[in-house]
Amino acid sequence: MSRVLVVEDDPHILRLISMWLKRQGHDVREARNGLAARELLNAEPTDVLVTDVNMPGWDGLALIEAALPMGQVQRGIVVLTNRWDHGEIRDRLAQWHVHVLPKPFSPARLSELVESLTTAGAGDSPGSVVASAPRPEEGV
Amino acid sequence: MSARCPSAPDDLLLRDLVCGLSTPRRAPTVSVGVLGSPDHTPQPPAHCLRVCLGADPQAVASRGCQFLATAARHEIDRTQLQDGRCPQGFAVTARPTRLGGAGAVFVSVEGEIADGTAQKQGHAADESNLLGHVDTAARLVQRVGEILEENSGFADEVLQNYEQLNLIFDLTQQIAQVTDARAIEKLLLQRVARLLGSAAVTLASADGGCRVFGGADGRGDGVAPDLPLTDLRPVESLIDEIRRTRQVRVHEAGGRQIIAGPLVRLDEKVDVVFADRAPGHGAFSSGDMMLVESMLAFGGQIITNTELHERLRRMSLEVTHAMVAAIDKKDHYTSGHSQRGGFLTRLTAQELGVPLAEQQTMEWAGLLHDIGKIGIPEEILCKPGKLTHEEFEVIKQHPRMGYEILKPIASLGVVLDGVLYHHEYPDGSGYPEGLKGDQIPLVARIVHVVDTFDALTSTRAYRQAFHVERALEIIRDEKGVRIDAEVADAFFRAFERYRREEPGDFAARFPAFIQSEKAHAKP
Ligand SMILES: [Fe+2]
């Protein structure tokens, strides 16, 4: 079981993702936008951050930018993107070593990812964000 | 105050509700919970939700279990409070619920009421109040459980749709990058196998024979002899039926279920696609049938279009080559001129960074540029020695004649530019219109350079061929006058690289060059 913070502005998708991950036995917290998610991260770290990109106000990119230096995301980040997101978003995501799932995402793939992020060794396995992400100089 | 046992996430919601209900004023100890049926849950406590105020959760759970056998089957709305019917000394109302299987909601009341003495001392009013309360609680818990279960069912459906949508989107994206019908077929059928949870699908081709496609990991690609479906004899009548009706069918054969559907291809040929499921993996549903139907219809459409596209492309190539053969037949000493013209035009266009699709059209312009010569009398075209002024005026009509011949073919667009203007020179001294510099379309400038080079290196009725190096030199001298400088430079680079890097291909395509080089080589 790992702690997962799910950030998604659409309440139905949010509920669906969190239901799905809870069923896999994860401890899930929910936020409807980037700002709320940052507050939650401030209060308590999480293992995995699952976030949407397009959200009103604070979007997923702003959240990742803020979350990386905080060091509160301890195992990895999964980003749910629109399939037709333009190149700029993809480039920024590429620079952060996050895992990207295009919407409509595969629930099976999502749980696989969360699982692999949290069971992969002591965080130094290839493909894990842990080793690279939460350093303050990155993503700023 | 409450023992929280490992529970499904929705139980947490239920717990909140139960917490609110489990403090009736007059009850000394009330326990409300949901238990899974012992049949379905080998370890009831692990699946149970208990909110116990002052009671031992284990005890409550185990006592609740005793009611499940009945509760799962019958709705019990009266509690069993009377002596003898409640020997354990607690009150329970239980209602069947499907939550977590065939479970039950139970509410137990212990303490004062269960105490025989207290009961005898006349707590009848309290009892009936309490029972009413407990019953309401149980109904509520039951209803919430049902709603949660419905929700969870909807969620399952949505999650499954997401999974399928994701696969279909992926497929669409991948197919967009593939132009070969066979490759699309493979992608499509691997996806179908994956969506159906089958190890592989088999395609019985309308032309006879069958192909097998693996599921998620591509296992089973090629021919898998252990799959019963590679032997199609037992399902021949099914194949016929599907060819006729073009509908998806689920078929039972030897205790094994097969789902089969039509893949309609070019010329209304119908391939039949089969998938099976290993025993114990559940029957195919109407959802599976719908999935197969829509995937195959969608895929068949794309495959048909691709095949049609391939056929048209092949056909237009064949027609082009037939026309080219007609020119070369007439103007024999330029045999191979058109073929080389097409090839070198493409090479130069590539060097100039022309987009791929346009390179193709330019190659056609290179192939067809002299098609107008078909309309020039043979005695002029093949006249040995110098042409008179009048004869040359006739020859000069060939670009426009070519243009007129090809004009009815609407799709040739850029090709027409190449044909009409391939004898225009940058200094404006060319024909038919005397265009200058940039007024001449790029395709025509390229064809002109290539045409000039090939003419110089060919033996004509009135002169011997120039050596390759000499021909390049002549073109170099004409740069900016009768030859476009930028195009000429690109041609030189492309030609030199081609000759250096592909000597084999060069020798095959330009045998005359090799011979002339040998002839010029100093002994
Ligand atoms: Fe010509």
pLDDT higher than 90, residue A42:
yes
Which of B10, B163, B165 is opposite residue A108, by nearest beta carbon?
B163
What are the residues whose beta carbons fall under 8 Å from the beta carbon of A52, sequence distance 6 or more? A7, A8, A9, A10, A13, A60, A79, A80
Which of B9, B159, B163 is opposite residue A16, by nearest beta carbon?
B159
Q: Residue B150: which pLDDT band, with cuts at 50, 70 and 90?
A: confident
pLDDT of residue B423: 94
Class of CATH domain B178-306: alpha beta
C-alpha–C-alpha distance, residues B353 and B58, integer Å = 78
CA angle in degrees (0–180, nearest 5) for B483-B486-B488:
50
B154–chain A Cβ distance below 8 A for any pair: no
Average pLDDT, chain B: 72
B206-240: per-residue pLDDT in tens? 888 788 887 644 444 444 434 445 667 778 888 89
A6–chain B Cβ distance below 8 A for any pair: no
Give residue limits of the domains in chain A.
Answer: 3-119
The share of chain B scoring above pLDDT 90, in percent, equals 21
C-alpha–C-alpha distance, residues B369 and B290, integer Å = 53
Per the CB < 8 A criterion, the answer to whether B40 and B101 are in contact is yes
pLDDT higher than 80, residue B369:
yes
pLDDT higher than 90, residue B443:
yes
Distance B320 CA to ligand 1 centre (A): 17
Mean pLDDT within A82-88: 71
- Answer positive or negative: Cα dihedral of B430, B435, B436, B440: negative
Q: A109 contacts in B (CB within 8 Å)?
A: 166
Q: Residue B352: which pLDDT band, with cuts at 50, 70 and 90?
A: very high
Which position has the higher pLDDT, B136 or B308? B308
| B331-520: CATH topology | Hypothetical protein af1432 (1.10.3210)
Q: B173 contacts in A (CB within 8 Å)?
A: 83
Dihedral (C-alpha) B443, B447, B450, B453: value to the nearest 10 degrees? -140
Bond before B432 cis per omega within 30 degrees:
yes
pLDDT of residue B159: 87
Distance B399 CA to ligand 1 centre (A): 7
C-alpha–C-alpha distance, residues B171 and B295, integer Å = 10
Give residue limits of the domains in chain B.
Answer: 9-152, 178-306, 331-520
3-state secondary structure of B373: helix
Q: Which strands sit side by side in the sheet containing B103-110, from one edge to the other?
A: B49-52, B29-35, B103-110, B91-97
Chain centroid to CA B488? 43
A111–chain B Cβ distance below 8 A for any pair: no
Lowest mean pLDDT among A44-48, A103-107, B352-356, B421-425: A103-107
Highest mean pLDDT among A38-47, A55-64, B37-46, B250-259: A38-47
Across the A/B interface, how many CB contacts are shorter than 8 Å? 33
The share of chain B scoring above pLDDT 70, in percent, equals 65
**Which of A12, A17, A23, A81 is the best substitution to test chain B (most B C-beta atoms within 10 A)?**
A23
Distance B357 CA to ligand 1 centre (A): 24
Which of A23, A102, A109 is opposite residue B9, by nearest beta carbon?
A23
pLDDT higher than 50, residue B284:
yes
C-alpha–C-alpha distance, residues B217 and B236, integer Å = 29
B8–chain A Cβ distance below 8 A for any pair: yes
Which two tokens mark B414?
């850029």
- Answer positive or negative: Cα dihedral of B81, B86, B90, B96: negative
Q: Residue B351: which pLDDT band, with cuts at 50, 70 and 90?
A: very high
Angle between helices B124-176 and B181-196 (to 10 degrees): 170
**Which of B147, B166, B168 is the best substitution to test chain A (most A C-beta atoms within 10 A)?**
B166
pLDDT of residue B230: 61
Q: Do A106 and B152 touch (CB under 8 A)?
A: no
Which two tokens mark B459?
């033996």
pLDDT of residue B122: 40
Closest residue on chain B to A108 (Cα): B163
pLDDT higher than 60, residue B103:
no
* Per-residue CA distances from B71 to A95, B98, B377 (Å): 58, 11, 104
Closest residue on chain B to A17 (Cα): B159
Mean pLDDT within B394-398: 92
Architecture of the CATH domain A3-119:
3-Layer(aba) Sandwich (3.40)
C-alpha–C-alpha distance, residues A7 and B163, integer Å = 20
Mean pLDDT within B155-178: 82
pLDDT higher than 60, residue B300:
yes
B17-50: per-residue pLDDT in tens? 555 544 444 443 444 444 443 333 333 332 233 3
Q: Could you tell me the pTM of the whole model?
A: 0.54
pLDDT of residue A32: 92
C-alpha–C-alpha distance, residues B37 and B34, integer Å = 10
Q: What is the ipTM of this complex?
A: 0.78
Lowest mean pLDDT among B87-96, B175-184, B363-372, B470-479: B87-96
Per the CB < 8 A criterion, the answer to whether A72 and A46 are in contact is yes
Q: Residue A131: which pLDDT band, with cuts at 50, 70 and 90?
A: very low
Which of B9, B152, B166 is opposite residue A106, by nearest beta carbon?
B166
Which position has the higher pLDDT, B19 or B195? B195
B165–chain A Cβ distance below 8 A for any pair: yes
Q: Residue B120: which pLDDT band, with cuts at 50, 70 and 90?
A: very low
Nearest Cα neighbor of B152 from A1, A119, A116, A19 is A19
